[in-house]
Amino acid sequence: SSHQYKFIKSKHKVATVNRRGVLFTVPRLHQQTLNTVTIHLGEETFKRITALPNEYGGRVVLTAFGRYILHTYNVEDIEIVLSHSRNIKKGMAYSFMEPWLGTGLLISTGNKWHRRRKILTPAFHFDILKSFLKVFEEQSKSLVEGLRQLNKGGTDVVDVIPFISDYMLYAICETAMGIKLDSDTSETKIEYKKAILDIGSIVMQRLTTIYLHNDIIFNLHPLGRRFAKCLDKVHSFADNVIMERKKAYGTEQNGGSKRRLALLDLLLEAERKGEIDLEGIREEVNTFMFEGHDTTAIALSFGIMLLADHEEVQVKLLSCFLFIFFIIWLSITHR
Ligand code: HEM
């Protein structure tokens, strides 16, 4: 891409973070006197950006088309920024996700965030999480089995991200939404998975293509139209999940069976009490389906990459597990 990003040296104090949580100010007058570097977007961008603190210190301001973005690497700065209530509102980049996630927990602020958070917090009570261990175990086992199958094909280079994403999606759907996706081979499920992967890459392309930040241009652009199609699929899938659970919830209630309250059940219960409407439930369902699988899939994939790069750690890990299993075996056989 031909877009250029300009980096301003931080020693000129263009970036300030103070105790009031104010992030930074860039006096325009000073700009001419600042030392700048220009970076072209491309393969090397990530490496260049991550190397900037070595050159310029812990506060670097990135400018592009008159917008200023502070990259801060100082622990002290980060603490002030993260703990200050002034900075609760999400940045502009999150607005690209809004047509998808609505103002669910991730993007909402103030009163709305508070009310929703109150409804949802019980879903993450430690006792509830424990009851989901079975799901985690099942999904882990089938993930390992799936990896084995991949290996059987004789391939030794595998893109693990879409693969692991699948299992993380199954886990979040079963734990939070109370629906089993792994046994679901329907066209809509496959379309849903494709659509969320697609949305991820569209949002990244939009972020790095400055003129697509404008809503009107984006909506007219082929990328924006692809985004709209993905949204249709994702929303109708989420709506189906909600309606199915709503039906099941009614029948289970009548049977009086004891079940763990999945996140979606809590939301449906809140709807009956008039604390949230169906549109609100849809926002939270989309938010959790995304937050619940993308984060963990990326974390696991990076974990696997690091293990692949550091064989000595693999050996340590293996001996650690063997030791633990040995202790468990001893405690069982000598009881
Ligand atoms: C390795 C895994 C994960 C990482 C690194 C991670 C990281 C984060 C971070 C940094 C935030 C704060 C975002 C912000 O306010 O800008 C956040 C918020 C959130 N995360 Fe995660 N997360 C992970 C897993 C999960 C999972 C498994 C779920 C759902 C089951 C989840 C649901 C959420 C939600 C709903 C929020 C918004 C919470 C609120 O504002 O009240 N995350 N996560």
In this structure, the chain runs to a length of: 335
Q: What is the pLDDT of residues 305-319, one digit of tens each?
A: 999 899 999 999 999
What pLDDT band is residue 129 in, cutting at 50, 70 and 90? confident
Q: Which residue is closest in CA terms to ligand 1's atom 37?
A: 106
Is domain 97-310 in CATH 1.10.630.10, yes or no? yes
pLDDT, position 36: 59
Residue 105, ligand 1, Cβ within 6 A: yes
Predicted confidence (pLDDT) per residue in 263-296, tens digit: 898 999 999 999 999 999 999 999 999 899 889 9
Which residue has tokens 């985004």? 227
Give 201-243 pLDDT, tens digit per residue.
Answer: 899 899 888 889 999 999 999 999 999 999 999 999 899 889 8
3-state secondary structure of 276: coil
Best probe residue, ligand 1, of 291, 301, 302, 304 (max atoms within 8 Å of C-beta): 291
Q: How many CB atoms lie within 10 A of CB 1?
A: 11
Q: Write out pLDDT tens, residues 157-184.
A: 778 888 888 889 889 888 888 888 777 7
Q: Is the CB of residue 287 below 6 angstroms from any atom belonging to ligand 1?
A: yes
Q: What are phi and psi of 61, to 5 degrees?
A: -105, 130
For ligand 1, say whether the CB of 290 is within 6 Å of any of its atoms.
Answer: no
Instruction: Return the residue whose CA atom lies nearest to atom 13 of ligand 1.
Output: 106
- The whole model's pTM is what? 0.80
Least confident of 2-16, 43-57, 66-80: 2-16
Q: Is the CB of 299 under 6 A from ligand 1?
A: yes
Q: Is the CB of 103 under 6 A from ligand 1?
A: no
Domain extents in the chain: 4-87, 97-310
Higher pLDDT, 286 or 40: 286
> Is 9 a residue whose pLDDT tops 50?
no
Q: Please give the number of the atom of ligand 1 that sits closest to the Cα of 287.
A: 35
Question: Is the confidence at residue 258, as pLDDT, over 60?
Answer: no
Backbone angles phi, psi at 84, to 5 degrees: -90, 130
Q: Which tens digits make up the pLDDT trace of 64-84? A: 666 677 777 888 778 777 777
Ligand 1 pocket, 31 CB below 6 A?
Answer: no
Distance CA 62, CA 69 (A): 5
Q: Is the pLDDT of residue 145 over 50?
A: yes
Cβ–ligand 1 contact at 49 (below 6 Å): no
pLDDT band at 40 (very low <50, low <70, confident <90, very high): low
Whether 121 is in the pocket of ligand 1, judged by its Cβ within 6 Å, is: no
- Cα–Cα distance, 133 to 139 (Å, whole number): 10
Report the separation in Å between the CA atom of 91 and the middle of ligand 1, taken as the mean of its atom positions: 16
* Residue 292 Cβ < 6 Å to ligand 1: yes
Query: Is residue 291 in contact with ligand 1, taking CB distance under 6 Å?
Result: yes
Residue closest via CA to ligand 1's atom 20 equals 291
C-beta 26 within 6 A of ligand 1: no
DSSP secondary structure string for all residues of 153-213: TT-----HHHHHHHHHHHHHIIIII----TT---HHHHHHHHHHHHHHHHHHHHHTSGGGG
From ligand 1's centre to the CA of 291, what distance in Å? Answer: 6
- Backbone phi and psi for residue 256, each to the nearest 5 degrees, phi listed first: 65, 20
Answer yes or no: are the C-beta atoms of 217 and 260 closer than 8 Å.
no
User: Cα–Cα distance between 200 and 189 in angstroms, integer?
Assistant: 17
Query: Which atom of ligand 1 is least distant from the CA of 88?
Result: 15
| Residue whose CA is at the smallest distance from ligand 1 atom 32 | 291
Beta strands, E only, the chain: 4-8, 36-40, 59-64, 67-72
List all residues 6 or more positions away from 38 whose beta carbon is below 8 Å from its beta carbon.
4, 5, 6, 7
